[in-house]
Amino acid sequence: MSVRIFKDQAHQEQFDREGFICLPFLLDEEVKELDAFFDELHPNLRENGFFSGSYSSDFAYKQRASEKIVEVFSRAYEKTFINFTPFGGAFLYKTPGDQSELAAHQDWTIVNEDEAIALNCWVPLCDVSFENGPIMVLPGSQYTKHPVLRAPTLPFFFSGNDDLVVDELIPMEVKAGTAVILNQSVIHYSPKNTTDTVRKAITAGVKSQGDIMRFHYKIPNEDKLEIFEEDDDFLLRFDNFIEDIAQRPKLGKSIGFIDYNLPQYSREELYAKLKELKSAAGYPMKTPPPEVEKLTDKHAVPSTFFDKIRSLWKN
């Protein structure tokens, strides 16, 4: 079901078809304001890596950054969206080096996607090229086209075959202040920063007005998910992000359990599914079909969001 959230009907139609859209968003002075605020908050940057403010254990820092981002974004929000509620924002940065790659993933299911929508507004504070690590997306991979639930303790439907996905992604090489607005369910990835400067960006969330935030937790050794209702700021409230997302939530209200089995594909089946999704969104495949067995690779170890994020911080 298509959920209306864009004021412009053409934008809504493109978003419904492709799962993302690039739009002019911040004014030059707004980019400068947020860039200066970034520098104020981050006098010392982590070397050779990718960092999201969401990973911090400093709630005051996360709250201050989020409130400022939402404040500055409010003009563009009102111009772009209808019937929406912001749910915070965070700074992202990539310092040069091999550890600055962000693995392919889908963001968590945080609303009832059969009735509502959650968007990620990714906005760079510098011009973005392939060299400094753009966000890259898989057109057509949104929930309405391929309905899967996502949680830190669930594998991705493409786990074990990430290379097939990465080969088909489209880089968003955009100017500072441009918004890449993507459905939270769209597959995305970011290659390493190979330049000698920091790539700064912001991620900020918008959801359908009135929809309650939620979080899914997979019951260990069972094909069941427990669903929690959460406050709008719950993404800021992890004390230890890396550890907490792998545990049953400490915050929120449990509203029950559902049976759930994630779709599983062989490499050949996954390639066919990617082709189907991209074609429906109006994009051709970039690589030829892989010469692989039709049976699912039993040796591939499914990776979760927790695994991927933890791997970024192992050094």
What would the mean pLDDT of 152-174 be, rounded to a whole number? 96
Instruction: Specify the number of domains making up the chain.
Output: 1
What would the mean pLDDT of 135-156 be, rounded to a whole number? 97
> What confidence tens digit (pLDDT) does each residue in 87-127 have?
999 999 999 999 999 999 999 999 999 999 999 999 999 99
Global pTM value: 0.92
Question: Is residue 2 in a domain?
Answer: no
What would the mean pLDDT of 138-162 be, rounded to a whole number? 97
What is the DSSP code string of the chain?
-----BSSHHHHHHHHHHSEEEEE---HHHHHHHHHHHHHH-SSPPSSSEEEGGG-S-HHHHHHHHHHHHHHHHHHHHHHBSSEEEEEEEEEEE-SBGGG-EEEE-----S-TTT--EEEEEEESS---GGG---EE-TT-STTTS-----TTSB-TTTT-HHHHHTT-EE----TTEEEEEETTS-EEE--B-SSS-EEEEEEEEEETTPPEEEEEEPTTSSEEEEEEE-TTGGG--SSHHHHTTS--SSSEEEEEEE-------HHHHHHHHHHHHHHHT---SSPPP---SS--TT----BHHHHHHHHT--
Question: Is residue 1 in a domain?
Answer: no
Tell me the pLDDT of the chain averaged across its residues.
Answer: 92
Question: Is residue 3 in a domain?
Answer: no
Question: Is residue 161 in a domain?
Answer: yes
Question: Is residue 194 in a domain?
Answer: yes
Q: What is the pLDDT of residue 308?
A: 55
Question: Is residue 288 in a domain?
Answer: yes
The CATH number assigned to the domain holding 76 equals 2.60.120.620
Q: What is the pLDDT of residue 48?
A: 85
> What confidence tens digit (pLDDT) does each residue in 4-47 have?
999 999 999 999 999 999 999 999 999 999 999 999 999 999 88
Query: pLDDT confidence of 290, banded at 50, 70, 90?
Result: confident
> What confidence tens digit (pLDDT) does each residue in 197-244 have?
999 999 999 999 999 999 999 999 999 999 999 999 999 999 999 899
pLDDT at 292 > cutoff 80: no
> What confidence tens digit (pLDDT) does each residue in 230-286 have?
999 999 999 999 899 999 999 999 999 999 999 999 999 999 999 999 999 999 999
Question: Is residue 4 in a domain?
Answer: no
Domain of 59 in residue numbering reads as 9-312
Question: Is residue 218 in a domain?
Answer: yes
What would the mean pLDDT of 159-188 be, rounded to a whole number? 97
